[in-house]
A and B are shown apart, each in its own frame.
Chain A
Amino acid sequence: MKEETTTKLSAGFQCACESPQPPPHRFSMPVYLAAGIAGLAVWWLVYERLEMVAAFLTYGLLGLTPSGHLGEAVFFFIYETPKVLMLLTLVVFGVGVIRSFFTPEKTRAILSGKREFIGNILAALLGVVTPFCSCSAVPLFIGFVSAGVPLGVTFSFLISAPMVNEIALGLLYGLLGWKIALLYAGTGFFVAIFAGWIIGRLKLENHIEDWVREIRANAVDLEDVKMTWHDRLIYAKDAVKDIVGRVWIYVLAGIAVGAGIHGYVPQEFMASIMGKGNWWSVPLAVVIGVPMYSNAAGIVPVVEALLGKGAALGTVLAFMMAVIALSLPEMVILRKVLKMRLLLIFVGVVSSGIMMVGYLFNAVVELPFFVN
């Protein structure tokens, strides 16, 4: 806004004043670039030393023994907390810059009138980069459907947006390596595309609540605000403040649970419950995960600890997807626009997709290949 008024003013005074003042708080591109590189270097220097400092604090200062239960749990907590928060900050900032190029309105315009299969793929991809908060799922749903986005395509977006998100990917990458992050992204897209496509095939349009179909409100189009690089960086900074400010408590809780598992759960225990040998572990993981509400930031440290204790990769991936993609509060919100039958089909199709992913990976994947 400030930017805009300045431009308007300078435009008005242009004839009177030959040397227009540059707008305040703006630097040239190289300055941002240099600051960015310096910032990254400092970030990396601190990040590299976290393990050393955590070891010093746990085993040196507190005098805990490295192989003891308490020692392992405390070390996990002291090491992972700053590590996860630092990673989260970096990733949210980076994605914030990318997201400043997208809005739900643009996404809707891209998706409206797209053919089904292509539309499902596009929707799943756009779900990752479009700024979206789960509380606006309902208005967004109505907006998509009334703009002529096919129902199945809308669902692909609604599944992919929370599931394959920047927080999940960034943390998986940082804590478990790029292979698992890529695997998660790939299978997450698969579930979103597949589930959306199935729902589209089932022709369930008449199971949307009637009042939604009657709405033919024309979407309000706010004029496309031109963003400068300065605006984009501010946008990303605000995203960090907002997201990290909101999720740090989940992160701490997740790491605390992870630390408990890490220090106290015996190695064989998880392998026996969540190991490959049990066919029922995948559905159980999904059934437990669906009503649970946590965000990616809280669940990834738990996932890391579970994998470390011998849980099978497919089972753990299924658990994580179920927790992030489906949640009870979201169902309650969506019930306002979906009739019960469609809501149940939605949950059923997504859960089946997640279970397929779980079984597939338990069947074909050797864990050591994926965990660096």
Chain B
Amino acid sequence: MEIKVLGPGCSKCKQTETIVREAVAESGVAANVEKVTDVMKIAGYGVFGTPAVIIDGEVKCVGKIPKKEEVLSWIKK
């Protein structure tokens, strides 16, 4: 599973990354978490608010820090 956390590096984006990593560790799902900080790349995903979470190419959340339960529900499918 490919998980991408998009955000230029503000505190909200860092929090999001931490939450996603925790959720992955908790669920035991084999997933590759990558942080994307380059604004050009972020815009290329069609995402216009940060932080955003993309799982296997599907945009799951834009412009807010997701709750850990939410992330768990996305990766457990």
Q: With the chains together, A103 CA to B73 CA distance in Å? A: 23
CB <8 Å contact, A220 and B69: no
Interface string of A316-346 (1 = CB under 8 A from B): 0000000000000000010011000000000
A30 adjacent to chain B (CB < 8 Å): no
A135-143, A172-180, A290-298: which lies at the interface: A135-143
Chain B residues with Cβ under 8 A from A212's Cβ? 43
Contacts of B11 in A (CB 8 A): 246
Main secondary structure on A side of the interface with B:
helix
**Are A215 and B10 interface neighbours, CB within 8 A?**
no
For chain A, the count of residues having a C-beta within 8 Å of the partner chain is 29
For B38, give the chain A residue with the smallest CB separation: A336
Instruction: Name B45-67 residues within 8 Å CB distance of A.
Output: 45-50, 59, 61-64, 67
A218 CA to B46 CA, complexed, in Å: 6
Given contacts A139-B42, A139-B47, contact A1 B12 (CB under 8 A): no
User: Which residues of chain A in 83-111 are interfacial with respect to chain B, using CB atoms and an 8 Å cutoff?
Assistant: 103-105, 108
Nearest Cβ on chain A to B40's Cβ, whole angstroms: 6
Tell me whether A15 is interfacial, beta carbon within 8 Å. Answer: no
- The number of residues on chain B lying at the interface, defined by a beta carbon within 8 Å of a beta carbon of chain A, is 27
Residues on A with C-beta less than 8 A from B46 are 217-220
Q: In the complex, which of the residues A108, A140, A143, A211 contacts B40, with contact meaning CB atoms closer than 8 Å?
A: A211
A220 to B7, CA, bound (A): 16
- The distance from the CB of B6 to the nearest CB of chain A, in whole angstroms, is 8
Chain A residues contacting B7 (CB-CB under 8 Å) are 135
Of all chain A residues, which has the CB nearest B7? A135
Chain A positions 129-181 with a Cβ under 8 Å from a chain B Cβ: 131, 133, 135-136, 138-140, 142-144
A-B contacts, 20 of them at CB < 8 A, read A105-B49, A131-B64, A135-B50, A136-B50, A138-B8, A138-B39, A139-B39, A139-B42, A139-B48, A142-B39, A143-B43, A143-B49, A215-B43, A215-B44, A217-B43, A218-B46, A219-B46, A220-B47, A220-B62, A337-B39
* Residues of chain A whose beta carbon lies under 8 Å from any beta carbon of chain B: 1-2, 5, 103-105, 108, 131, 133, 135-136, 138-140, 142-144, 211-212, 215, 217-220, 222, 246, 333, 336-337
> A-contacting residues of B (Cβ < 8 Å)?
7-13, 39-40, 42-50, 59, 61-64, 67, 69-70, 73
Q: A135-B7, A140-B49, A212-B43 are in contact. List 15 more A-B contacts (CB 8 A).
A: A5-B73, A108-B48, A131-B64, A135-B8, A135-B10, A135-B50, A136-B10, A139-B39, A139-B43, A139-B47, A139-B50, A217-B46, A219-B46, A220-B46, A222-B61
